Structures are given as structure tokens and as C-alpha cells.
Amino acid sequence: MPKRKDIETILVIGSGPIVIGQAAEFDYAGTQACLALKEEGYKVILVNSNPATIMTDTEIADKVYIEPLTLEFVARIIRKERPDAILPTLGGQTGLNLAVELANAGVLEECGVEILGTKLEAIKKAEDRELFRSLMKELGEPVPESEIIHSLEEAYEFVKTVGYPVIVRPAFTLGGTGGGICTNEEELIEIVSNGLKMSPVHQCLLEKSIAGYKEIEYEVMRDANDNAIVVCNMENIDPVGIHTGDSIVVAPSQTLSDREYQLLRNASLRIIRALGIEGGCNVQLALDPHSFHYYVIEVNPRVSRSSALASKATGYPIAKLAAKIAVGLTLDEIINPVTGKTYACFEPALDYVVTKIPRFPFDKFESANRRLGTQMKATGEVMAIGRTFEESILKAVRSLEANVYHLELKDADKISDERIEKRIRKAGDERLFYIAEALRRGISIEQIHEWSQIDRFFLTKLENIIRYESVIKENIGNLEVLRKAKMLGFSDSTIAKLWNKNEREIYEIRKQEGITPVYKMVDTCAAEFESETPYYYGTYEDENESIVTKRKSVVVLGSGPIRIGQGIEFDYATVHSVWAIKEAGYEAIIINNNPETVSTDFSISDKLYFEPLTIEDVMHVIDLEKPVGVIVQFGGQTAINLAAELEARGVRILGTSLENLDRAENRDKFEQTLSELGIPQPKGKTAFSVNEAVRIAQEIGYPVLVRPSYVLGGRAMEIVYKEEELLYYMENAVKVNPQHPVLIDRYLIGKEIEVDAISDGETVFIPGIMEHIERAGVHSGDSIAVYPPQTLTPSIKRKIVDYTIKLAKGLHIVGLLNIQFVMYKDEVYVLEVNPRSSRTVPFLSKITGVPMANIATKVILGTKLAELGFKTGLHHESEGVYVKVPVFSFAKLRNVDISLGPEMKSTGEVMGKDVTFEKALYKGLVASGIHIRSYGSVLLTIADKDKEEAIDLARRFYHIGYQLLATSGTAEALKAEHIPVTVVNKINADSPNILDVIRQGKAQVVINTLTKGKQPESDGFRIRRESVENGIPCLTSLDTAKAMLQVIESMTFSTTVMPKFAKFQEVIHS
Amino acid sequence: MKRQLILEDGTFFIGEAFGSTEKMVGEVVFNTGMTGYQEILSDPSYCGQIVTMTYPLIGNYGINRDDFESIEPYIHGLIVKEVCKIPSNWRNEMTLDEYLKTKNIPGLAGIDTRKLTKIIRQHGTLKGAICDLDVSIHEVVESLRSTNLLNDQVKRVSTKRAYPSPGRGHRVVLIDFGMKHGILRELNKRNCDVMVLPYNATAEEVLRLKPDGIMLSNGPGDPKDVPEAVEMIRGVLGKVPLFGICLGHQLFALACGADTEKMKFGHRGSNHPVKHLTTGKVAITSQNHGYTVNEQSLKRTRLQVTHVALNDGTVEGLRHLDYPAFTVQYHPEASPGPEDANHLFDEFIGMIEQFKKEGEMVYA
């Protein structure tokens, strides 16, 4: 069927900020879709609140709106732009929910906007549990016994009939937010109450638990002509019970016979047909491991994380085709972009094994509950491809960048058998590693199967790996064993350990003996057709298919899995760098392992190597490709950390030299540079022992900022106010030794300022300066950043520009640099310099119109900034005000303290832009999910040190008509200033106490400041968690609170009484 | 134990032996199905062929009692990247290795099957031998070059004598050219009273059973090696509704005056898109054929192309313009592979019923 000619303009809705459950996969999907629609000649309007996305680049759509994804703003855009149609199935749950809201509000009808792809009816049928269940019943597809409930009473009724355990799934939430498994009444009360709150329609599904079934997913596509295909099926190694986003997943399924495969395929196709979906759809099924009996668990009538994974696993670009189908094209008339010869209407055949392992944020959130269940907790994922299962999973393990290169636990010898059993029975993020340890201890597969319900097939494969460890160990120097070990996916570093050699030696032996990988193509068709996709993976086989061209090439290292501190911003810069390399006439080669991202779309680079980012795997690509050099500036700390070893192995690092990278990152060298340049920095020193740390802190004075050297996203960084805290930190948070020193700096309580710049060594171009709302001490990634600065004097700005230029030149930066300053008592100090692309590069690029990563790449490749028309200094300021607001995923992470500090906690960001600061911030806050009300109640629990500052804040809240609630201490302070306040009981006091107030929704904002240090004062912690779990904004920085208040003030009118005539006579006569 | 595969072009692959250690010669082909190895190795259409599975892990769910497509396998060898030694599935009864040993079929694991697949794709199917390492490659290549592949596969795999598979519905005579059990299963499912006849049954023998419909099964090899079947089809055409699958389709085309030809490397897998020309709808089908009906040759016949392969445009389905007869190149009985085309069996039953009704009207 030809494409539709009756529509011209299409509005695409993005998925907003990165949160757990909704990550970079939607930038990948949205970008593909926008480009596909443009390719077909449609005018594309895009709306997304997330500036760190490729899709919001103005080249991707005809018109780009970076606005909050709320009914209010999107309706405004629709009324203004009058698109003919809207495509909501590419923006995740956010896009889908918004489309439903727009339809329900009558906006679509009013403006004559058609929903493309999947019709509203189908969305409702798939998303509304009741409608879904009745549809399944109609189709004869089995669903687990379940009940839609709207109250706790209804939950009790259901449990009475089916018994425990039951699964709770709140309706219309992201990544299963608020769900869980209940095995007893206590858990039932907690999870159901929470789930009802989280669901926008106050509805949960209670379901008989079928934990232990095989969890199988089918990615299916259908077009308007009813052609329906399966792109890929996937098997979760973790059986039903763990969210698929948190499960280790393999593609294709490994333990299903053809009959089982077809049984579930038929069910999936029946469902997509019954729903009438035109586009992609994900069907999750549970299969009894002992019969043909199965259940349909869930259907997502849109592209998803799984579809991104399926696209990367097969090469089949689901989102691109979903967009084409949405405008009426049918699968049989679309060419398969991978082969370029065959059609898209077929089912990919894989000739390799794909493994996906989720990346969890528990390295950052030590106190978090690591138990996995139906609520997703992973922030990102890695994917690896191999010709054996063992190779595939071991490559995935070392792609995680968790400092783990093999299936091993740290300090495994100290772990008791009991703990191992417990950790296998109750799955946490490290279960795979505990299983490996169990196997190492000789625990039988049967036993582990009984504990974990993981299929024996996978356990046997893991046992193969563990068994081979001893073979390697017993055959030191045996080349056949080495070869076999590499085929099983063992890393050089693991073999090195077993052979008592170093990693480099193993690598050299292999190179000498020709035990090196070849690269195979991912071609969708298992080599049946000739393909030209430049998408490769490494494996130990005979034939290499990656033909090195005669063109000069440049390798760019990607940033690996998305985690807190290294998010989508780095993929954004990586993609731009790749494009710039191509523009400069080189062949652009990328190495990365994150299946969610745009950078691993094979159509972005000239060659994509889907490989772990370890020295070994990167060197293999370099040995083959012999590039001009490697660019490490865009892949975040991942890539930077490889630079030294790459150079040691003779690889040329393009851009800022290794020596200068080190001068910026090594504390002592950096200090020396700064003093040479005459740039002040907070006093600080490096401690190599606990005693030394104490001495240094005394010397420079508390409070001090402590952190390990070479950190990512402020990991393990803390502000300590006294010696006991310092000692606690030194003993618990870090292991200080001469190889791993700890940095101790004076903590200056001042305004934080951030700058990104591009330098070629001669010219230093500064696209913009950003001012943070929160004072220094809150990680820059968690602060609200404002452009242009609102409070800086011209002389301070000049100073910042001057320091930036000096630093860029002094450090001989070639490429990008990011500097954080603190302004303290009118003096500017340098906090840190990152000689690489930063988190703010996409934000600043979009605001200023300066494609920073692109320009930096060209500079790295040798072009001078002057040739590109840039001069040293600050770019002229753009009109309007832009704010970057961080977005957190706290609701999904139990037991995590939400208070802001030097350690980064946010998962994503949004941008708000408008003509005034207040308007921009309003948009930013709304886009980040904070509900701003012009009236209501504010609950204050303020630490003594902040009380003085809080009084003014409280008074202003009072003036705009907010009711003030406060705990006794804070209330007294307010009363003393004659500010009316209602006292609420402390946590342990009688009901209604402060937690009840929060639970009952009696406060619209909670402001809670930390007493001191990091040790969670348990009351404060509970108040903060209670707020998060009840969806009430909880501000832990008075700066954020002030900014928010400013917004509320700007949207309300203060009401003050008229002055009295009391002194009338005096006035007259004076 | 190390053994090797030697191809007629001199390429050889050394791998790990499994199954039997017999020396076996055959036509080396590849199948892209990711599941269904048990059905594939028991599909008589592979008679005389050495099958390479492109999916690297084979044998994961073992061998079960139910999924055979014939009682005896006729495959000459199986080549995989990795053979699973400890399968896991609730129906598993033995490993692939054990099964191939009992059936005396050699297997070879641990080779770069993707490289082998690409050789076949580029050069077309080749003759090959699975043998020990101590042979002279040169001699094996010479002998492969001078060896003619089998041309009597249908005779080898077809039933030697007729047998019934009773039912209470329409009587269908099923000609066994190397029938997969799936075809019989589909007819039985529809209550057909099936009479299975050997490949060389004559038209008289067929008609004597007073069938309501005739089903031409799949089978191995070149359709031109089975002239007796072509003869038989000519004798029954128009008298009884007819449905043919795979080799049955090719024989039907020959009987109607069309020609068939060998393909470069054929279609073998579970993901082949086939377009129905009338509706424009595409079905994903299971396929296994090395020969195809020449489209040009159809001009001089009363045959109409109903289905084509989406990717290479080859003929996938035919219908007779004058008689109640239709055939498809692919496998609507699936097993292994998708069941998208299963409705064709219903269409066959519909055709039988329509023919009966019309007959009653004619003779009323």
C-alpha cells in the first residue's frame, strides 16, 4: 500500500527525561522515526523535554519543541502547529499516556488530529488491565488469575481466593513503578497502598504469581494490510518474577523447541492482530517449563526497551519501520535496510547469541534495596554478541564496566555458603556472580536450579565457564587451552590472573600465536543474503568479514551503559563526533556496547563494532583497522580511563594529549598547573593514609570535601563537618592506600558556575556560562543550571572567561573541556577541570546553536578554530532564559536517601526555556514532573544551621497564601518571627504525625534540610522517603526551594492588607 | 575426535565429530531456522544432503518422542557450530549426539558454519564429504567431483506400499514422495480418510480409491527424476481436486507443461516471506527446496502464479485455470517453522466440498 498523501505534518512525541524504565532507547527510536518520516517527505514536528537527545537536534525534525510533556504544553503546540496527525508510539509510556490525555481532553478532536500507528482503542485495550483481560478471554489466550483492584479491601478479597504470593502491578506506570510481589499481609498493605498512589488512575492489577515460569518475549510488527511478523524472540535467563528490564536476557530463545517457539509466536501474532496495531508491539509471555501451558503476561503496544534491544540484536530497525508503517506503507514494500536487497517483511535469522545484562545503580546507592522484583531498578544495559553462549555472556559481563572482567565476586572467600544460597534464592543484581561462585564451590546444578528456577541449560553453560577456569589454571602456557578459553569468552585479564602473568603478556602471546578474533557481520539473515551493513562483532572463528578500507579512519570510543553520572549526554556527543569525522572525510569507526543508544545504530557510523570497552577488545579493533588515532573525549570517563593503556600500546590519542589529560585529572599535577597559571582553587591536599587525612583536614579547616581520586559522577564524594565524620568516611567509604589516595579540599559554600569550552591550543572558544541554582556542594549534575547567568556581575564573568582561556591554554587542551567554578566572597575558585565532553554539552549546544561536539572533533582532527570562524572568548548570549533541571528516579529505588549532595543521584534532565527566568524555571520544574500549585501547604523541617535562612523563605510562602506546616523546632523559630504556622507531630508522636500529613496529601511541598554530614538522621530520611513515595516534591536544598518559590510568586498575586490610617494626622502635618 | 568436512572445491573444515563416524557424501546445504533441528533432520526431503545449521547452538532442547517428521531420517550429515551435550527441555529424551549415533548419521561440530554458509551462498550448493582426518584431501575432492549425487531419493524415502490413515471425512489420497508427517497430521486433524500411496502409484490406482481429493506431498531431489509421478498427475488432473506441496508442486507444474530448474542454493529455513498475489498479503513460511518452477515456462500452460517469494520473486504457488488444483512450493504444515499458511489445508477441504457440490449439480 502506498504511503498516505492525505497527511502532511506529523507531530512526534518524545519520552522526556531519562528515568529508570525509560532511557536512551526512546531517543534511538524517536530519532529513527523522525528521519524515516522525513525520508518519506512528511513535515515532522517534534516535542520532547529532554535536551540531551539526538532527536531534539534541529536536523532531525523540521520543527523541534523542547517543552514539558504535559497536556498543557503539548495542547498549546498542537493548537499552534495544527499537525494532521500525531505519532505517540515512539515516546514510551510517556508518549502513550500523553496521547490518551490529549484525546480525553478533546484536543485531538478539536484540532482534527489523527493518531497514527496504533489507534487509541488499541492503546486502551493493551494498557487498561480490564479491557486487556477481556480481549485475551475473547482470543482464548490464557492470562494469570487476576483482579483489578481500586482499594486495599478489594486486594484482601482477591488474596482470600487465590492465596499468596500475588504480584501487584499498578496501571499506567513506567517500568512497573510501585509494583512488587507480596508473600504476606504486611507486604500486601505496603505494596498495594503504594501502587494505588503511583497509578494515575488509582488502579492496580493483582495477579496470582507464576514466578518460576520461563519468561519469553516476542517483538512483533504488523502493517495496515495485516502482514504480521516476529522480529525477534528473547528468553529471560531469570524466570518470571523479575522485571524484564532487570533480567539477563538472551536472544534468540535457547531452550524452546520449535513447537514451543511457534506456539508463542502464534499467540503473539494473534494478539497484535486483535489489537489492530500498526507498528511494533512487545508481547511478554510466561511458559511452563514442564508443559505447553503458557500465559500472556503483558503487551506493550509501542516501541520499547525490548524493541531497541531486538533491533540491535538482529539489525532490524523496528522504530524506523514502525514509523513507515504508521504512514501507510506495508512491510512487503519496504526494503530491508540491512541487506539492501530483500524486503522488511521477513523474520530475521540470527547466527550468534546475544546477551543483555542490566546495569544497576547500586554502586552509587549503597543503602538501596538490591532485591529484584517486578519494579525495574536498572538505569541502563549492555549487550554482547558471541558465537557461543559463554562468549556472549562473558563479553556482556566485562562490558558492564563494573570493574569486573569475569564471573567473580569481590572477596568471594569471605562469603559464607549460607549467604550464597540466600543471594541465589532471592535475586539481587549480583545473582549471576553468586551462581558462578556456587558452581565454583561445587554446588550442583540441580541445587542451584531449585534455588533460582533458572533453566538448567543456562546453569550448565555457566558451569562450563567455571570448569574451564581450572583447565586454564592447570595448563599454563598451553596455546590450545588459550585458544579454547578465548572461544569461551575469557578475558585476557582473567587468563592472566590464572596464569600469574599480566594482561599485556597474554595479549602479546596471543598476537604472536595468531589467537585473535575475527569480526562477523550482523546481517539479519544468517549470511543467506549478501549484506553491506557495517555492523560487526568479534569472535574466535576462521573467517573475518570486516574488510579494512583504504580510507583513513578514526576510532571513537562510546560511553558504554547508561548509569548515574554517565548518561545519554555522552552518547549525544559521541554521535556528533562520529558525524564530524565523516564530514572531515575520514572513515568513522565506533566501538560501543549499549543497545539502547543512537550511537549503536549501524547507520550512524561507517563501521560499528559492538564490543566491550576494555583495553583488550578495543585493541583488537585497532589492530585490525589501524586507524589514524582514537578519540576518547566523548565517551565519558569510560573512554578517558582507557587512554593511558592505549597510548602505552602505541595507539595515538587524538586531541588533548594523555600527559595533559593527566595534568587535569591528577590532583598534584593539577594543583601545580593552577598555581603556575595563578588561578585560585580551594585549599586541598592528597592523603595517602587515614592519619594524613585527619592532619590535612585540620590544617585547611572544616567543612571539607573528601573524595577518591579519579571519580565518576562524584562517587563516594562527601562533605564532612568534623573529625568523627571524616574517620567514619575514611574507614567505610574508601579504602585509602598509596595507589588510591583520597583528595581533601576546603568546602567553600558559594555559588557554583560551570563552563564548557572548545580549544585548539591557540583559540579558546566559550559557547556559554551556566550558573547553578544550588550552591556548591550539590553535584553539578543534580543542580539546576541556568543560562545565561542571572546574578553574575560583568567582572565575575570576565574573570571566568579569563580563567577558562588560561586553563585551556595552560593544559594544552585540544578539543573540549568543562570547568566548574565556585564563587566565594566575590572571588572565583576552580573546583575541577574535565578535559573532555561533559553532561552540559548537549544543553549548551542547543541553546547557543554551537554544535560543540562537532566543532571539537574537527579541532581534534587538526582544523583550527580560526578557520572555522571562531575567536577566543565568550560567545554572545542567546536571547531568553534556559534552565536545565535534573530528574531523579527515587520512586523506583527503595531505601535511597534523596538528599542532594556531592554525589550525583539524578538519572536525567529536562530543559525549560522562556523569556523570563521564572517562566523558564516553571517549565523546567513541570517538565521534571514537579506539580506546581499556586496555593496549598508547605511542610518545613529545617536543620538548625539553616533556620535563619529559612525564615525569609517561610515568610514569602505565607505572603502568597501558602499554609505553613512545621515540626516543633522549626515552628518555634517561625513563631518567634510572627509567622503563622501549624505544628505537626514528629515521627514517633501520636497520629496524625508528620508522616500521616505527607501520606494524606496535606502538604504540596516538603522542604527538609539535612542536620549535618551524610549519616542519614533517621527521621529526616523517613520524611524524605515518605514524600517520594507519595509523589510530593521534597526539596533538600534551600536554594532549590527559593527558586521554586520565586516561580510560585511569579504566578500568584500576593495579598497584603492596606496600611492603616492610624498615623494620618502625623502624615498631614509633617 | 576430530573429523572434517571436505567440499568439492577443495575447502575443508576440521571440527569435532559427533553422531556416527561413518564417511558420508552428500550435497551440502544450509538451513537458517533457529529452532526445529529435530524436524529438519527427519524431513525426508533432505535425503542425501548434508545440512549445515546456521544457528550456532544446536541440540539445546534435545531430541523428543514427538517432533519427528518421519520414522527414519534420510539426512547424510549434520554440521553445527556447537552441539549441546546436556540438553534441557521437559520433553527431552536423548541428546542429538545419541540420536545421530543410533541412526548412523555423522555430525560435525566446532566449525565456522558462517564461513561455510557464505561459501554455499557464493558458489551454490556443493558436494561434500564428512570423513576422518587421515584421508587425502586431493583424493576426496577428485572423487567428489566425479561422483553423481543420488537421483533416486524419492524411491528411497517413499512408502513401499499403500496404507490407510482412516477418518470419517473426505477421502484424500496422499502420494508419498517423501512425506513429512505434518501433512498427514493436518489432513487427519480435518477428519480426512487418508490413503497414503507410494510415489509410483498410477492414475488408475489412485482413482480406483475414489478419492475426494488428491494430495501431492513434499519430497527430495529433482522433480525430473520422478517421471512416473508426472504421468500419474496428468491422469488425475481435473477429475479430482488436487493440492501439492513442495516437490508435489514441482511435479504438478511439470505435469501441466511447465519446466523446473535447479536453484543456486535453494530456500531452506523458517523465515521465507511469500506474497499472495491476489490479496497482497505476506505469509512467513517454512521452506526446503533446491529446485523451482521456471516462471517463463508457465506461459505455455494453463497455470497461474498465485504466490511468489518476496525476496527473489521465484514461483511459490500455482493454480490451474481450468481444474480444481493448486500447489505451493512452501510448507503449510510447518513443523518446523511458522504456521501462517496452515489455512491452505482448509482451502483444500473447501475445494473438495465445492467440487462435490458442483458435481452434484452437474449430475443432478
Inter-chain touch B56–A529, beta carbons under 8 Å? no
The answer to whether A332 contacts B310, with C-beta atoms less than 8 Å apart, is yes
Q: A95 and A196: one domain?
A: no
For residue B71, the SS3 value is coil
C-alpha separations of A894 from A365, A605, A1007 in Å = 10, 39, 20
Task: Confirm if A352 and A387 have CB atoms less than 8 A apart.
Answer: yes
Question: Where residue A956 sits, what CATH number does that domain have?
Answer: 3.40.50.1380
SS3 (DSSP) at A547: coil
Lowest mean pLDDT among A768-772, A816-820, A982-986, B232-236: A982-986
Cα–Cα distances in angstroms (integers) from residue A420 to residues A403, A432, A436, A437, in the given order: 21, 11, 10, 8
pLDDT-based confidence at A1017, cuts 50/70/90? low
Mean pLDDT of chain B: 96
| Domain presence at residue A381 | no
Find the catalytic residue in B8, B27, B39, B333. B333
Nearest to A913 by CA among A847, A1008, A979: A847
Domain tally, chain A: 5
Going from the C-alpha of B61 to that of each of A619, B35, B93, B115, the distances in angstroms are: 37, 9, 9, 25
Instruction: Region of B165 please: left (phi>0), alpha (psi -120 to 50) or beta.
Output: beta
Grid cell digits, residue B124: 551454490
User: Cβ of A728: how many Cβ atoms within 10 Å?
Assistant: 15
Q: Are residues A582 and A717 in the same domain?
A: no
Does A738 score more than 80 pLDDT? no
Same domain, A185 and A294: yes
Percent of chain A beyond pLDDT 90? 79
pLDDT for position A620: 98
Name which of A262, A331, A346 is nearest B271 (Cβ-Cβ): A346
Mean pLDDT of A756-771: 97
Q: What is the CATH number of the domain that holds A335?
A: 3.30.470.20
Domain presence at residue A1058: yes
Q: Which domains does chain B have, with CATH numbers?
A: 2-150 (3.50.30.20), 154-363 (3.40.50.880)
Among A157-161, A428-432, A863-867, which is the least confidently predicted range?
A157-161
Residues A153 and A115 in one domain: no
A314 and A272 both lie in a single domain: yes
pLDDT given for residue A667 in this prediction: 78
For the segment B119-148, the average pLDDT, to the nearest whole number, is: 96
pLDDT at A932 over 60: yes
Tell me: the pLDDT tens digits for B2-31? 999 999 999 999 999 999 999 999 999 999
Q: Which residue has the cell 506495508?
A: A330
Contact indicator for A959, A1056 with CB cutoff of 8 Å: yes
CB-based contact B63:B105 (threshold 8 Å): no
**DSSP string over A466-495:** HHHHHHHHHSTT-HHHHHHHHHTT--HHHH
Average pLDDT of chain A, as a whole number: 93
- Find out whether B22 and B107 touch, Cβ atoms under 8 Å: no
d(CA B336, CA A717): 58
Residue tagged 522485571 (cell numbers): A243
| Angle between helix A120-127 and A129-139 (nearest 10) | 90
B-chain CB neighbours of A387 within 8 Å are: 56, 81-82, 114
The response to whether A834 counts as a known ligand-binding position is: yes
- What is the percent of chain B with per-residue pLDDT over 70, rounded to a whole number? 99
- Indicate whether A839 belongs to any domain: no
**A80 lies in a domain?**
yes
Report pLDDT for A730. 85
Q: What pLDDT is recorded for position A711?
A: 59
- The string of pLDDT tens digits covering residues B166-202 is 999 999 999 999 999 999 999 999 999 999 999 999 9
Percent of chain A with pLDDT over 70: 97
Do A205 and A328 belong together in one domain?
yes
- Tracing cell 488491565 back to the chain, one arrives at A129
The highest-confidence range among A200-214, B209-223, B349-363, by mean pLDDT, is: B209-223
The answer to whether the Cβ–Cβ distance between B273 and A257 falls below 8 Å is: no
Kind and range of the H or E element at A938?
A: strand A937-941
Q: Mutation test of the interface with chain A: which of B278, B284, B316, B330, choosing the one with the most A Cβ atoms within 10 A? A: B284
Q: What cell does A909 get?
A: 534532565
* Residues in chain A, overall count: 1070
Last residue of a domain, one of A354, A370, A394: A354
pLDDT tens digits, one per residue of A7-56: 999 999 999 999 999 999 999 999 999 999 999 999 999 999 999 999 99
Is B333 touching A (CB cutoff 8 A)? Answer: no
Find the largest Cα–Cα distance for chain A.
109
List A729's β-bridge partners, or say none: none
Determine the distance in angstroms separating the CA of B362 from the nearest CA of chain A, rounded to an integer. Answer: 39
For residues B55-79, average pLDDT = 97
Domain containing A212 equals 141-354
Query: Per-residue pLDDT for A207 more than 90?
Result: no
Minimal CA separation from A773 to chain B, in Å: 56
Q: Could you tell me which chain B residue has the CA closest to the CA of A345? A: B273
Q: Which residues of B touch A525 (CB under 8 A)?
A: 32
d(CA A460, CA A389): 11
- What pLDDT band is residue B362 in, cutting at 50, 70 and 90? low
Say if A464 is an interface residue toward chain B (CB within 8 Å): no
Q: What are φ and ψ of residue B31, in 5° steps?
A: -125, 135
Angle at the Cα of B349 (from B157 to B181), degrees rounded to 5? 25
Are A838 and A882 spatial neighbours (Cβ–Cβ below 8 Å)?
no
The SS3 of residue A762 is: coil
Contacts of B35 in chain A (CB under 8 A): 252-253, 256-258, 261
Nearest partner of A178 among A191, A159, A166, judged by Cα: A191
Mean pLDDT calculated for residue range A308-337: 96
- Answer yes or no: do A153 and A257 share one domain: yes
Q: What is the pTM of this model?
A: 0.94
**Residue A1067: what are its φ and ψ, rounded to 5°?**
-60, -45
| Mean pLDDT across A410-434 | 95
Q: Which residue of B has its CA nearest to A289?
A: B90
Inter-chain residue contact A387 with B81, CB threshold 8 Å: yes
**B331 catalytic, yes or no?**
yes
Do the chains contact at B115 and A261, CB–CB below 8 Å? no
Higher per-residue pLDDT: A278 or A178: A278
Q: Out of A165-179, A353-367, A871-885, B211-225, which region has the weakest mean confidence (pLDDT)?
A: A165-179
Q: Is residue A318 part of a domain?
A: yes
Q: Give the pLDDT of residue A205.
A: 86
Considering the domain architecture, whether residues A586 and A687 belong to the same structural domain is answered as no
B269 touches chain A (CB under 8 A): yes
B350 is an annotated ligand-binding site residue: no
What pLDDT digit, counting tens, does each position of A229-256 carry?
999 999 999 999 899 999 999 999 999 9
Report the gap between the CA of A125 and the closest CA in chain B (Å): 25
The H or E element that residue B325 is part of is: strand B325-328
Give the pLDDT confidence score for residue A733 in this predicted structure.
Answer: 72
Per-residue pLDDT tens for A767-785?
999 999 999 889 999 999 9
- Helix then strand then coil, in percent of chain B rounded to 5, is 30, 35, 40
Cα separation of B337 and B349, whole Å?
22
Residue A382 inside a domain? The answer is no
The DSSP output letter for B331 is B
Regarding whether A176 and A81 lie in a shared domain, the answer is no
The residues in B 46-105 lying below 8 A from A, measured between CB atoms, are 54-57, 60-61, 64, 66-67, 81-82, 84, 86-91
CA distance B187 to B349: 9
Q: Say what the pLDDT of residue B363 is.
A: 54
User: How confident is the model over A460-488, as a mean pLDDT?
Assistant: 98
Residues B43, B206: Cα–Cα separation, whole Å:
25
Is the Cβ pair A526, B55 closer than 8 Å?
yes
Closest-approach residue (CA) in chain A for B311: A342
Q: Are residues A198 and A91 in the same domain?
A: no
User: What residues of chain A, 603 to 622, have a C-beta less than 8 Å from chain B?
Assistant: none
Helix (H, G, I), strand (E, B) or coil at A361: helix
Least confident of A458-467, A601-610, A742-751, B5-14: A742-751
Tell me, what's the pLDDT at A307?
95
**Closest C-alpha among A57, A39, A586 to residue A337:** A39
Domain match, A587 and A695 both:
no
Provide, as residue numbers in chain A, all residues whose Cβ is less than 8 Å from the Cβ of B56. Answer: 351-353, 387-388
Give the mutation candidate from A351, A385, A388 for the B interface (greatest B CB count, under 10 A): A351
Mutate to test the interface with B, among A216, A237, A250, A259 (most CBs of B within 10 A): A259
Residue among B47, B131, B246, B256 flagged as catalytic: B246
Contact B280 A332 (CB under 8 A): yes
pLDDT value for A852:
98
pLDDT for res A451: 97
**Integer Cα distance of A188 and A204 in angstroms:** 12
User: Average pLDDT of A341-353?
Assistant: 95
Give the CATH number for residue A52.
3.40.50.20
A388, B335: Cβ pair inside 8 Å? no
Separation CA A776–CA A180 (nearest Å) = 38
Same domain, A160 and A30: no
Over 70: is that where the pLDDT of A476 sits? yes
Looking at the domain assignment, is residue A322 inside a domain?
A: yes
Contacts of A257 in chain B (CB under 8 A): 35-36, 38, 61, 64, 67, 89, 91
Q: Which of A743, A767, A782 is the last residue of a domain?
A: A743
Is B246 a catalytic site residue? Answer: yes
Does residue A1063 belong to any structural domain of this protein?
A: yes
Assign A663 to helix, strand or coil: helix
> Tell me, what's the pLDDT at A1010?
80
Chain B residues close to A332, C-beta within 8 Å: 273, 275, 280, 282, 310
- Residue A1015 has a pLDDT of 47
